[in-house]
Structure 1
Amino acid sequence: MNQPTEPTIAIDVYRTRRERVLAALRAAGGGVAIVPTAPEALRNRDTDYPYRHDSYFYYLTGFTEPEALLVLDASAAPGAPASVLFCREKSVERETWEGFRFGPDGAREAFGLDAAFPIGELGTQLPRIIADKPALHYALGTSAHLDEQVRGWLDAVRAQSRSGTVAPTAARDLLPLLDEMRLVKDDHELAIMRRAGQISAAAHRRAMAVCRPGIREYELEAELLYTFRKFGAQAPAYTSIVAAGANACVLHYPAGNAIARDGDLILIDAACELDGYASDITRTFPASGRFTPAQRELYDIVLAAQQAAVDATRAGARFDEPHQAALRVLSQGLLDTGIVPRAKFASVDDVIAERAYAPFYMHRTGHWLGMDVHDCGDYRERGAPRDEAGALPWRTLRASMTLTIEPGLYVRPAEGVPERYWNIGIRIEDDAIVTPTGCELITRDVPVAADEIEALMQEARAAHQQRT
């Protein structure tokens, strides 16, 4: 059976990452790292969910088949394999049903590993590899199955103690090391993320172009999913949020059956995953193609808040600075519109100090982005001195970190809130690469300014009328 057509495997990229891990483990005293991929997940009866690999495993291998595990031996003897993959065997029968498999020999060659074995030999090979090694490094406490496997491997080594074999005496969490590596993206990763952003932006443009009063939320979701696949993305990066009218005030509202009505805003938070990397875009636009005055007023506040956050995103800034910049703009807007009453709050500082903004803006302004849409990595400086309140300082941004910038306002009906703003939910989200002097927005191929959104929608409607 032929190998499937895939992007060229970046062997050197994955090999370099493995070498960095091995070097770090050697500096920490050696030992063996164990990184399994994700298990397959049953959907119902005998049907599985579409398979998606574990991000840590993929980061170090580029290998996407299930039933696989990577071993990195930082205490390997000279000439012994330091990178070992366990994977499914070649099987003509199973490939007839399920498609191509690399098999151990093919995977070793294709992915640049030192050695590879069938996954069925894991129980015999792992005890051999970890014997007489000082430590095991793996994701502690994240998988009961892995914890059980590790105990079994250790027991197998301890059973040989009378022959002088010694089991590892330390278990250390591997994730902090991998998290730090994944936080700063390399050129290979950034190229994929830029392309993912372009595909997702094209999907949002299509949704804007086809939207009309009377369309249902699931129809817009279908346009998004179609565009993701049309341009080569493998899947959505997360469950799409397509929310019409008051549904936009529900932060994680799933695409449903609601009809977009004249006068509604449509909030879409949806993006694709491409070659293992997520994008993440939110746009809010009027079903009619024209914002009402109240919608435009709040939209421009959110857009100004996003711009303030963009301006605050740069290498050397703290992670919290974009959020604080956006929060000040949003709080001022809440005062100016009367959504937060000036009779109770005299200034922006008062609004922030009393968290009067929280009923209308209840999330933070961004998160890390990468292989996972809410990517790994600490948001505060681990091990740094704590402040008087006992908090660690926010992490300092570095060039080639990637994050989202996504302020919003969500106004539910409430006493004291001007009725013209009721049921308006707005979020504007873009993906940013931190640079030495600012940030690069990689999802701006879809309009963000209100005038540009209206122009796109009106142009699409005019073109549709000409065709019909």
Structure 2
Amino acid sequence: MVEIQKSEFKARRERLLAQMDENSVAIIAAASEVTRSRDTEYAFRQDSDFFYLTGFNEPDAVLVLIPGSDTPSTLFCRDKDPLAEVWHGRRIGFAAAKSDYLFEQTFALSELSAQLTTLVSGKQVLYYAQGVYAAFDGQIFSLLASLRNVPKQGNKAPATIKDVRPLIHEMRLFKSPSEIAVMRQACDISAKGHMRAMRFARPGATEYQLEAELHHHYAMQGARYPAYGTIVGSGDNANILHYTDNSDVLKNGDLVLIDSGCELQGYAADITRTFPVNGKFSDAQAALYNIVLQAQQVAFNEIKPGGYLSQANKLAMQVMTQGLLDLGILTGDFEQLMAQQACKEFYLHGLGHWLGLDVHDVGDYKQNDQERAFQPGMVLTIEPGLYISKDSAAPQQYQGIGIRIEDNVLVTAQGFENLTASVPKTISEIEALMQSNTHG
């Protein structure tokens, strides 16, 4: 399995340090454990920005960066504690963290307050992500207040606070070769999980059994958790965009929409496929499905350096508008319907989003109020969809059908690479796979 080396995390810290103002300090907090019920916690998931800069996967840690210092990166983390480790698991400890994770200096969390006073005092600029963790905000504001209130002791608070997230998020938008390798692997695991679910699906099974097939496959391939709440929506449930109840029985004659991807070493895959429960598309289902598939295919033409997401979306909407006109779901003049964005009644979301450490990953879609063009190293989803609910005024044969097709694409120097192309998505490919009756 591909792994990102600790030296790359160190190099990321150095890149951030190089962008910071003179006489500045950055403070980046790790996530904390979240209570699930009473005295149990949800499985810990590290803050994505903190993980991007450290690769360190314990809660409550704090990273401090100071450009131009002899010790530019300092980590505060939980110290070794034999009793706590017996109950809750082993800790890395600040001594091992220094050598294993390539920090210039490390301290136990118990020293955070005292050391922060020294590290922050006298700096002109503080880089900090205010509003992410309320409890940690309180610590930072208390620190700043104490620095302001005791100038006679030689302390001085930063005069300026800057949001550190724009710097980190611009870095995260462009994936390194090792990040791409991990994401390619996450996409491959997720792709095979979707194929497994297609083979398993049959009338009388449940949505949550399909979910279980996916999650079992992810874990068995080394991706212990899904990247987000898996969506398995059959029939009219597919028209609920973020449906996660996954509790209904699959019915003969219905489609089922699965939106799911694994998380591998923090990086997300995000695939959607829609297919017939019984392995055979009806004529009405096939007609709608092919509109969505064609919309995705024309959108791909714009995924290249210098291309724009808005133009890809326009191309997709042209296909969907004409398709809905042909089926009698929309009526009127094509140009007027395009001007009115009439297809948005049935196409309820955007065409795609950035993908990385977060499933809806960070990175500005605009620069200086102008849409940014695609550049090599960006990874995004392309996911057109049509949602014809049972309550719509569409012809009856199309009611209760929801379709989305989503792939993960890497922008390359030549155009793009579809990281999830191995999952069948033409009608003939899907029907052939589902009728193969082999479980994988």
Query: Structure 2 length normalisation: TM-score?
Result: 0.97
Change (3 A) 1:409 1:9: closer
SS at 1:43 equivalent: strand
Query: Which digits, 9 at most, give the CA deviation of each residue in 1:223-256, with x for residues without a partner?
Result: 0110110100031100010011111111111142
In the aligned structure 2, how far is the partner of 1:197 from the partner of 1:415? 35
1:210 pairs with 2:200: yes
Counterpart of 1:450 (choices 413, 424, 427) is 427
Task: Identify the residue that residue 185 of structure 1 maps to in structure 2.
Answer: 175
Aligned amino acid, residue 221 of structure 2: F
Counterpart of 2:44 (choices 37, 44, 51) is 51
Contact 2:32–2:59 (CA<8 Å) still a contact in 1? yes
Contact 1:402–1:433 (CA<8 Å) still a contact in 2? yes
Cα shift at 1:11: 1.5
Task: Identify the residue that residue 346 of structure 1 maps to in structure 2.
Answer: 333
Task: Identify the residue that residue 366 of structure 1 maps to in structure 2.
Answer: 352
Contact 2:74–2:106 (CA<8 Å) still a contact in 1? yes
In the aligned structure 2, how far is the partner of 1:142 from the partner of 1:200? 30
Task: Identify the residue that residue 94 of structure 2 maps to in structure 1.
Answer: 104
Structure 1: 5+ residue stretches without partners: 1-5, 384-391
Cα shift at 1:144: 2.5
Structure 2: 5+ residue stretches without partners: none
Query: Which digits, 9 at most, give the CA deviation of each residue in 1:109-153, with x for residues without a partner?
Result: 111000000011111110110111111101133333232111221
1:319 pairs with 2:309: yes
Query: Which digits, 9 at most, give the CA deviation of each residue in 1:250-283, with x for residues without a partner?
Result: 1111142211111000100011100000110000
Cα shift at 1:173: 0.6
Change (3 A) 1:331 1:9: closer
Cα shift at 1:157: 2.6
Contact 2:302–2:308 (CA<8 Å) still a contact in 1? no
Counterpart of 2:270 (choices 250, 261, 280) is 280
Task: Identify the residue that residue 408 of structure 2 maps to in structure 1.
Answer: 431
Task: Identify the residue that residue 13 of structure 2 maps to in structure 1.
Answer: 18
In the aligned structure 2, how far is the partner of 1:164 from the partner of 1:94? 39
1:221 pairs with 2:198: no
Query: Which digits, 9 at most, give the CA deviation of each residue in 1:366-400, with x for residues without a partner?
Result: 0010000000111112x2xxxxxxxx321111101
In the aligned structure 2, how far is the partner of 1:153 from the partner of 1:163? 14
Task: Identify the residue that residue 55 of structure 2 maps to in structure 1.
Answer: 62
Task: Identify the residue that residue 31 of structure 1 maps to in structure 2.
Answer: 24
Counterpart of 1:308 (choices 298, 307, 310) is 298
1:131 pairs with 2:121: yes
Quick one: percent identity of the two aligned structures? Answer: 45
Aligned amino acid, residue 60 of structure 1: L
In the aligned structure 1, how far is the partner of 2:49 from the partner of 2:387? 35
Task: Identify the residue that residue 174 of structure 1 maps to in structure 2.
Answer: 164
Provide the aligned C-alpha RMSD in A: 1.5
In the aligned structure 1, how far is the partner of 2:174 from the partner of 2:3? 22
Contact 1:128–1:157 (CA<8 Å) still a contact in 2? no
Contact 1:9–1:110 (CA<8 Å) still a contact in 2? no
Cα shift at 1:163: 3.4
Query: Which digits, 9 at most, give the CA deviation of each residue in 1:260-308, with x for residues without a partner?
Result: 1110001000111000001100000001101001101111110000101
Query: Structure 1 length normalisation: TM-score?
Result: 0.91
Aligned amino acid, residue 346 of structure 1: D
Task: Identify the residue that residue 103 of structure 2 maps to in structure 1.
Answer: 113
In the aligned structure 2, how far is the partner of 1:8 from the partner of 1:414? 48
Please identify runs of 4+ aligned residues in structure 1 that moved more than 6 A. none
SS at 2:192 equivalent: helix
Task: Identify the residue that residue 42 of structure 1 maps to in structure 2.
Answer: 35
1:412 pairs with 2:400: no
